[in-house]
Structure 1
Amino acid sequence: MSYVFIDANDALHRYDTVTQGFNRRWPSPGESAGSIYVCSTPADALAALKDALAKRKRPTIRSGGHCYEGFVSNNPGGAIIDIGLMTGIPTNVTVQLENHSTHTYRFQVLAGNQLWDSYANLYKRTGKTIPGGTCYSVGTGGHIVGGGYGGLSRQHGLVIDWLSGVDILVVDAQGSVRPLHANATQHADLFKLCRGGGGGNVGLITGYYFDDMPVAPQQVATLGLQYPWFLFRNDKTRLGEFLNTYAQFMISADTNPRTYGLFTGLGLTHVTAGGIWIGLQYSDENGGLTDLAPLNDFVNAMSPFGPKLLDTYLPGSGVRLPFVPPRAPLVSGLPAGAQVFDWLYATQSGNGSGNNQRGKYKSSYMKNVFTQTEIDALFQYLTVVNASDPHFAHSLVQIDSYGGAINHVSSTNNGFNPANNQTAVTQRHSILKLQYQTYWTDPADDDKHLSWLRDFYYAVHAQDGYNGTPYPASTTLPNSRYEGCYINYPDVDMLTGKTPGLPGYNWGDLYYPGIYNELVAIKKSYDPLNIFHHAMSLGA
């Protein structure tokens, strides 16, 4: 046994710390796990899972600890298997297949790697990367199995679009642990579930395999724009025009490969924050800055709304960390305020996870521009409700660009064809991805923030959604303008929606449009005892 075992009797007083994740709402009072296994190798993980099952302890799995809900930390009497130290990216790894043949994968990403470590490792050794997220400390273990989306996804697709195989520990009907390797030719159904089905559903993933990965950009241009709230606070029509100019640009960009290197995030903050922001990163089709037209076209489209240049910029938050200097501006034709970075250093600057605090999140995929009902709700809850309460200064809707190589065959996505989609992410027609967020530190403010975000979200989807949610196209809502929600942004409110028991509503259709029942059947086949489960696991 080489894993480290920690429980409440730990002499080094680590227990309280390691039972917590990034979101300080968890564990809920009285819901802490009884013990934690800290694993450094796949062999450790195998031994830990066997030991937990032998002791009849429910296992939950932690990689980076960023689960938005209490699916990992809330495990009273159970055991957290922490694989965050199981790191490394071996290359040219040969795997023995069940038909007695072998397959050599170019890359193996162990599931404990955090995103920044993965980016730095791959880039320095091979010049390649994965098109993953911008929060440096997110673990690949949960990030990839949920789909994997980030600043390079419009250009290179989702991480799972590149995924070639997984190592996973499952538990059979006799309660025995079985190590499996799943890919497109063996356990293909399990492999599909692992390509976007979300963490904690069917087993413990120890490693991801890739036959290839995209080449990282050489250089990127970054730019931060700020729009003070006074420009819109008394002019809802103007705010609607601003939002739909942004959305319309992304609709046009969805089918234009020249734009796929443009990633934008619009931070539609609460009025108490003072200003709306847009952060963007751009490289052209060749990973450089020769073709600047898409970047300038976007800036020109948004310029009528009176932006101020930000002197601090970080993709995803509007703030650039000062310790990584940009390169000297050797590129002519850049819009005012844009800076040129080597890609790795831009990624380092942009890899902010923020403070560990209390938070609540919701999400939606949008296929079109904003409706008047949506604009009315956004305006109401961001400028009127709690308008003088400074505790909402860190509350926002982040509206990220989507589409591009995620939705269409692209030369920069290794030929992946979304029309022949063998992944568990079926949202392949949206042009925007929205994340509703609110943060606070005092548990006494829980109800205030939770109710504000819940009411806000239901109001946005009151007319064109179903049951207060962005329900996807289905028999319930045949012509939906939405594609549901992102499983890596889980939200237990979606279990019932606004009205519990409403006919025709199934939370699983929100996260897995069109394939929920298929994924439930796969989960039951490989996890017949339902060892791996949580409030929003498949079949819950």
Structure 2
Amino acid sequence: MDMAADQAQIDELRRQLSGTLLVSGQAGFQQALKIDNGRVQLQPSLVVQANSTRDIVLTLQFAQRHGLRLTVKGGGHSATGYCLNDDGLVLDMSLMRAISLDRDTRRVFVQMGARWHDVYVYLINSGTGLIPIGGGCPTVGIAGFMQGGGYSFVSRSYGMSIDNLVSLTLVTVDGQVRKLDADCQDPTDRDLFWACRGGGGGNWGVVVDMTLQVHAPATDTMLTGQIRFLPDRAQDVLGFYNQWVETLPDEMAVYGIWGMSPSPSDPTVKIQTFGFTVIYNGNATTGASLLAPLLEKGPLTVSLNAITLPDFELLNGASTLVDNRSAYICSGMMMPGAFTPDAIAVFERYMASVPSTDSFIVWTHAGGKVSQVADDATAFAHRGARFVPEVKSIWTNASDARANVEWAHAFFTDLQPHFVGAYVNYIDPLLADWANRYYLGNYPRLLDVKRACDPDGFMDFQQGVGSAFEPDQSQPLDLAPLNRSFVD
């Protein structure tokens, strides 16, 4: 396009918007591109900060009319920065953060610029004691989290976030504003509601808002905290954990973490430990009795407190942030009993050779109500998984990128015999057979939904539904997929 014409068209769009249009060099442009993973340094031509559904429709129409690739940025926690792009248009939702609560139905309306922090604070201030099925990291945006499935510390009690999604508003690429819920009569709308629950963000259009079911927990506070062990205890403790978690009620979740933590003898010194983040949705005394067998294993440190879930999430969430450093993130899905001696040995071997002391691995403890939903009831296909490990390989100096990426990639490649898939919310550009690993048997239906709602593939990206991209697995590892959103 002619540059003078471009400027005139940009100015016209700016006049039509109730939100903000930013171009490179303008105040606020770079801040709008800031995301958790500082490794991603993509530079779009335009950023539109929408402030209404009409702004979203206008932006979609503008991008299509002028041949601009488009990505959508919600909370900025895309594991590999697919919310950004080079030379295209980024639709930034950060101005749309309205939240309201219907106390009678216990439902929260949330616009998709909001992050879980906003919802937690809103519900705390409501004085109701109600809790959402939200992210353990409070700075995660709601839109992407929900569309990928959404594990919560209380998912074993109440299901995944998508199981608590009542309705949503979606603008499809044709500019239609669709209200989607379980009672949709239109077949396309029914399929879209299914796809938006686990099919991953950036595929179906732009989600404007959601209505979420929130819950009143059985007690005002929950037993929460950390239990840590030294690495030489891994075979014994994780072998025990592997069987013990199968005896726990749905109200108890025991997440895992392996990385650096303060030494109990000198908090200014960090040592490598592994251990557990525990959350019991019930009476603290009952929770403590459930933990007794684990505590008999003689942990290095124990820190347990009875606090509200939102308070715990606000206090705990920062510990897993990349926080604008560089990161490569990958994931797996493990079935019940998958922490075998061979699997634990892989954890031991790679954590003993980790190239960065900033890197760590965490895993979600799933099951409970999550597993009581059929794999094809929503687009999320991993209902039977018990553990969802995620490695965050983090570094500061650009020269260290290859060593850190190759370490994490090899780590999870060696764990593949113990995995049954991967989690799309920890999307990994280097994952082989990614469509099958993320979606299993649901992928053919997702392809059908994609062809129906976006036949020209406007909402595309490197690992979007329908993409033919497959990363090269030869050595040395090709890192180029980490530095782009699109495959031309």
Q: Which residue of 1 aligns with 2:140?
A: 138
The one-letter amino acid of 1:363's match is: S
- Measure how far apart 1:157 and its partner are: 0.7
Per the TM alignment, residue 21 of structure 1 is displaced from its structure 2 partner at its CA by 1.4
Q: Counterpart of 1:405? A: 369
1:490 Cα deviation (Å)? 0.4
Counterpart CA distance in 1 for 2:345 and 2:139 is 36
Deviation at 1:92, TM superposition (A): 5.3
Pairing 1:245–2:245 present: no
Q: Extract unaligned runs of 5+ from structure 1.
A: 94-103, 233-237, 254-258, 311-336, 409-417, 471-481, 498-505
What is the aligned partner in structure 1 of residue 342 from structure 2?
373
Task: Determine the C-alpha separation between the residues in 1 that align with 2:110 and 2:329.
Answer: 28
Report the counterpart of residue 321 of structure 1 in structure 2. Answer: none
For the residues of structure 1 that align with 2:301 and 2:204, how far apart are their CA atoms? Answer: 47
The 1-side partners of 2:207 and 2:308 are apart by: 33
Paired position in structure 2 for 1:351: 317
Kindly state the Cα deviation for residue 182 of structure 1 after the two structures are TM-superposed: 1.8
**Counterpart of 1:490?**
427
* Aligned-pair CA distance for 1:419: 3.5
Q: Is the 8 A contact 1:167 1:205 kept in 2?
A: yes
Q: How does 1:89-108 map to 2 (within 5 A)?
A: 89-91=99-101, 106-108=107-109
The 8 Å contact of residues 40 and 85 in structure 1, kept in 2 or not, is answered as yes
Amino acid at match of 1:51: F
Determine if the alignment matches structure 1 residue 303 to structure 2 residue 315.
no
- The change in CA–CA distance for 1:307 and 1:534 in structure 2 (over 3 A counts) is same
> Structure 1 residue 132: deviation in Å?
1.4
**Residues 116-136 of structure 1: CA distance to partner in whole angstroms, max 9, x if unpaired?**
111222343343222111111
SS in 1 for 2:306: strand
Q: 1:244, 1:369 within 8 Å by CA — same for their partners in 2?
A: no
Task: Specify the SS of the correspondent of 1:134.
Answer: coil
Match of 1:76 among 83, 86, 93: 86
Q: Which residue in the other structure is 1:449 paired with? A: 404
- What displacement does 1:536 show? 0.8
Instruction: Name the amino acid aligned to 1:357.
Output: R
Cα distance, 1:364 vs structure 2: 1.3
- The equivalent residue for 1:320 is none
Aligned twin of 2:441: 514
Report SS of the residue matched to 2:22. strand
Offset from partner CA, 1:365-414 (integer Å, 9 cap, x none): 2112323332222221112x25xx5xx21222212211111113xxxxxx
Query: What is the distance in 1 between the residues matched to 2:305 and 2:106?
Result: 37
Q: What is the match of residue 478 of structure 2?
A: none
Identify the residue that residue 111 of structure 1 maps to in structure 2.
112
**TM norm structure 2:** 0.83
Tell me the distance in 2 between the aligned counterparts of 1:433 and 1:420: 16
Where do residues 208-219 of structure 1 align in structure 2 (5 Å cutoff)?
208-210=210-212, 212-216=213-217, 217-219=219-221
Amino acid at match of 2:214: M
1:25 aligned to which of 11, 14, 39: 39
1:279 to 265, 277, 280: 277
Given residue 257 of structure 2, which amino acid in structure 1 is its aligned partner?
G
SS of residue in 2 equivalent to 1:513: helix
Letter in 2 for 1:440: W
The one-letter code sitting in structure 2 at the alignment partner of 1:486 is Y
* Cα distance in structure 1, aligned partners of 2:152 and 2:74: 18
Letter in 2 for 1:40: N
Instruction: Indicate which of 181, 189, 192 corresponds to 2:191.
Output: 189
Q: Which has the higher helix share?
A: 2
Q: Secondary structure at the match of 2:191?
A: helix
Q: Would you say the 8 A contact 1:221–1:341 is kept in 2? A: yes
> Contact 1:111/1:208 (CA < 8 Å) preserved in 2?
yes
Match of 1:503 in 2: none
Asked if the contact 2:74/2:143 (under 8 Å) is kept, the reply is yes
8 Å CA contact 1:222–1:279 kept in 2: the answer is: yes
Q: How many angstroms apart in 1 are the aligned matches of 2:109 and 2:35?
A: 26
Native 8 Å contact 1:245 1:302 kept in 2: no
TM-score, L = length of structure 1: 0.75
Letter in 2 for 1:56: G
Between the aligned partners of 1:341 and 1:207, the Cα distance in structure 2 is: 30
Letter in 2 for 1:5: L
Residue in structure 2 matching 1:268, options 251, 258, 269: 258
Matches within 5 A, 1:519-534: 519-534=446-461
Q: How far is 1:301 from its partner?
A: 2.5
Do 1:134 and 1:150's aligned partners in 2 also have CA atoms closer than 8 Å? yes
Q: Which amino acid aligns with 2:121?
A: A
**Which stretch shows the higher mean deviation, 127-136 or 342-351?**
342-351
- Taking the aligned partners of 2:98 and 2:214, their CA distance within structure 1 comes to 16
Conserved 8 A contact 2:393-2:404: yes
> Counterpart of 2:22 in structure 1: which amino acid?
I
Q: Cα deviation per residue 1:193-252 (whole Å; 9 max; x = unaligned)?
A: 001111101100001124x422245111223222133xx0xxxxx522211211212222
**Paired letter, 2:88:** G
Identity over the aligned pairs, expressed in percent? 23
